[in-house]
C-alpha cells in the first residue's frame, strides 16, 4: 500500500470545490472597468465570471459563466502566431516580428529602430504583421484557414461576431496607422486593408471560457486537443508560442505576472486570460472588468491563487508537488490500493 503522505490532497472533488470557493471569493472583487474603446465591447455584462481548467488528458473543471460567448480579442494572437510559424517556419517569422517584450502599451506605435520589425507578436503591431503572414489565396481562404485552426483548438465550429468586427474596423485607426507604418518599411506583403480586416476578424472570433481553457490545454498537450485528439498546431512550435506568452503575454504587466504567477499566459481586452502549465493543464478565466494595464482584475487574482494552491509556478520547487496530474493520479492510486487491500 502506498504511503498516505505521498498521496495528494487534491482529488477531483477537492479541485472543483477549491475553484467554487475561489469563484465565490473573487466575485466580491468589484474594481476595474470594462473596455469601451471598441463600442461593441462596452455592451458586455461586467458581472459575468467564469473559471475553467482543462487538464492535458482532457478532464474539465468549470465554475460560473463558462459557456457564455464573447470575442477572443488579443488571446487570438498566440494561435495566429502558431499558424504563421507553420506557414513559414521560425526563421522567416522571426525576420518579420521580434520576440522582445516592450514594456509599452499593447497599441503603442513603435517598431524596432534597427530592424523595423514590431517587437513581438503579442502587441498589436506584431499581431497585425503575424496575421499578414497567414497563407491563402485571397481573404476568404485566409479567414477559413484561420477559423479552421481555431476549430481544431476548441473542438467545434467557430464564428466571427460581425457586430464586433464592424465596430473594430470602424474604430481601428490606431491599428491602421501601425499597419501603414509597417507597409512603409515593407514588413507587410499583401494589401494592408486586407491584413487589417483579417486581424479585426480574428479578434472578433467568438469563444467561451471553456473554449479558452481547451485552447490552453491543447498547448499544454503539445498542440493536440486533449478531447478530440485533433492536432491544432505542430508540436515543434508550441515552445515558440509559450515562450512569447511567458515574456510578452500580459501587456505591460508581463514581468510581474511571470514573477508572481510563473506561467505562460495571454490576456485580452474581452476580460479573458489563458494560462498554460506545460504537459499538465490549461487555465482560463473570463471576467470583463480590466485593470489599468488591460488585464482582467478577477482573472489575475484567480490565476495567482490557482498557481499558488497547486504549486504551478514554473520555477517554484519549494512545495515539491508541482505536477497537477500527478496530484490527481496519486489519490486515485491510493484509493485503488485501499480497495485491493480490503
74 binds ligand GLU (CB under 6 A): yes
Which member of 119, 153, 199, 246 is catalytic?
A: 199
Q: According to the binding rule CB under 6 A, does residue 167 interact with ligand GLU?
A: no
Length of the chain in terms of residues written: 342
Instruction: Say whether 77 is catalytic.
Output: yes
Using CB atoms, what's the residue nearest to ligand GLU? 74
**208 has catalytic annotation:** no
Which parts of 248-307 interact with ligand GLU (CB under 6 A)? 268-269, 294
The CA distances from residue 71 to 10, 18, 296, 301, in Å, are 33, 28, 14, 21
Figure out which of the listed residues 124, 130, 201, 252 binds ligand GLU, where binding follows CB under 6 A. Answer: 124
183-190, Cβ contacts within 8 angstroms, sequence gap of 24 or more: 185/111, 185/116, 187/96, 187/111, 187/116, 187/117, 187/118, 187/129, 188/128, 188/129, 188/132, 189/132, 190/132
Any bridge partners for residue 266, and if so which?
Answer: 274
Please say if 199 is a catalytic residue: yes
Q: Is 73 a residue that touches ligand GLU (CB under 6 A)? A: yes
Q: Which of 99, 154, 269, 277 is catalytic?
A: 269
Least distance in angstroms from the C-beta of 78 to ligand GLU: 12
User: Binding pattern to ligand GLU, positions 214-243, x when CB under 6 A?
Assistant: ------------------------------
* H-helix or E-strand spanning residue 78: helix 76-88
Q: In the bound complex, what is the minimum distance in angstroms from residue 342's beta carbon to ligand GLU?
A: 55
Q: Which is nearer to ligand GLU, 8 or 73 (CB)?
A: 73
Is residue 55 at the binding interface for ligand GLU, with CB under 6 A as the rule? no
Of 77, 205, 207, 302, the active-site residue reads 77
Pick from 286, 266, 284: nearest CA to 123: 266
Write each residue from 99 to 118 as x if it is in contact with ligand GLU (CB under 6 A), else as -, in one continuous string: -------xx-----------
How many binding residues for ligand GLU (CB under 6 A)?
11
Q: How far is the CB of 270 from ligand GLU (least distance, A)?
A: 6
**Contact assessment for residue 302 and residue 333, using Cβ atoms and an 8 Å cutoff:** no
342: DSSP letter: -
Taking the least distance from each CB to ligand GLU, the nearer of 74 and 102 is 74
Told to judge if 269 belongs to the known catalytic residues of this protein, a careful annotator would answer yes
Query: Which residues, at least 6 apart from 8, have a Cβ–Cβ distance to it below 8 Å?
Result: 321, 326, 327, 328, 330, 331
Measured CA to CA in angstroms, residue 100 lies from 51, 97, 126, 248 at distances of 30, 9, 11, 8
Q: Which CB, 8 or 131, lies closer to ligand GLU?
A: 131
Alpha carbon distance 55, 214 (integer Å)? 9
Q: Does 154 bind ligand GLU (CB under 6 A)?
A: no
Which of 15, 203, 209, 248 is close enough to bind ligand GLU by CB under 6 A? 203
CA dist 78 → 24, 28, 200, 244, 247 (Å): 30, 30, 15, 8, 12
Unique residue bearing C-alpha cell 477531483 = 12
Residue 211 interacts with ligand GLU (CB under 6 A)? no
The answer to whether the beta carbons of residues 210 and 218 sit under 8 Å apart is: no
Residue nearer to ligand GLU on the CB measure, 68 or 333: 68
Contact 26, 302 (CB under 8 A): yes
Give catalytic residues, as residue numbers. 74, 77, 199, 251, 269
**Contacting positions for ligand GLU (CB under 6 A):** 73-74, 106-107, 124, 168, 175, 203, 268-269, 294
Amino acid at each position: 500500500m502506498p504511503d498516505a503522505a505521498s498521496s495528494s490532497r487534491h482529488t477531483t472533488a477537492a479541485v472543483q470545490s477549491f475553484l467554487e470557493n475561489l469563484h465565490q471569493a473573487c466575485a466580491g472583487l468589484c474594481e476595474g472597468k470594462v473596455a469601451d474603446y471598441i463600442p461593441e465591447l462596452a455592451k458586455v455584462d461586467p458581472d459575468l465570471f467564469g473559471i475553467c481548467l482543462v487538464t492535458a488528458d482532457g478532464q474539465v473543471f468549470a465554475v460560473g459563466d463558462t459557456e457564455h460567448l464573447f470575442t477572443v480579442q488579443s488571446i487570438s494572437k498566440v494561435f495566429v502566431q502558431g499558424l504563421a510559424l507553420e506557414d513559414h517556419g521560425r526563421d522567416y517569422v522571426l525576420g518579420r516580428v521580434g520576440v522582445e517584450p516592450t514594456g509599452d502599451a499593447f497599441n503603442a506605435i513603435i517598431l524596432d529602430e534597427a530592424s523595423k520589425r514590431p517587437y513581438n507578436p503579442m502587441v498589436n503591431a506584431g499581431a497585425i504583421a503575424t496575421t499578414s503572414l497567414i497563407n491563402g489565396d485571397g481573404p476568404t481562404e485566409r479567414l477559413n484557414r484561420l477559423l479552421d485552426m481555431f476549430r481544431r483548438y476548441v473542438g467545434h465550429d467557430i464564428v466571427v461576431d460581425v457586430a464586433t468586427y464592424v465596430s473594430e474596423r470602424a474604430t481601428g485607426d490606431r491599428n491602421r496607422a501601425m499597419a501603414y507604418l509597417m507597409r512603409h518599411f515593407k514588413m507587410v506583403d499583401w494589401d494592408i486593408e486586407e491584413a487589417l480586416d483579417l486581424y479585426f476578424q480574428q479578434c472578433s472570433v467568438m469563444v467561451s471560457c471553456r473554449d479558452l481553457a481547451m485552447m490552453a490545454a491543447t498547448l499544454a498537450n503539445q498542440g493536440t486537443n486533449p478531447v478530440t485528439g485533433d492536432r491544432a498546431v505542430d508540436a515543434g512550435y508550441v515552445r515558440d508560442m509559450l515562450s512569447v506568452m511567458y515574456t510578452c503575454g500580459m501587456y505591460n504587466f508581463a514581468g510581474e505576472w511571470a514573477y508572481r504567477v510563473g506561467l505562460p499566459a495571454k490576456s485580452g481586452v474581452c476580460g479573458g486570460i489563458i494560462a498554460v502549465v506545460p504537459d499538465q493543464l490549461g487555465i482560463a478565466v473570463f471576467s470583463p472588468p480590466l485593470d489599468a494595464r488591460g488585464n482582467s482584475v478577477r482573472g489575475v487574482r484567480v490565476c495567482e491563487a490557482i498557481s499558488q494552491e497547486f504549486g504551478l509556478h514554473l520555477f517554484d520547487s519549494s512545495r515539491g508537488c508541482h505536477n497537477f496530474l500527478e496530484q490527481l493520479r496519486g489519490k486515485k492510486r491510493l484509493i485503488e490500493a485501499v480497495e485491493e487491500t480490503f
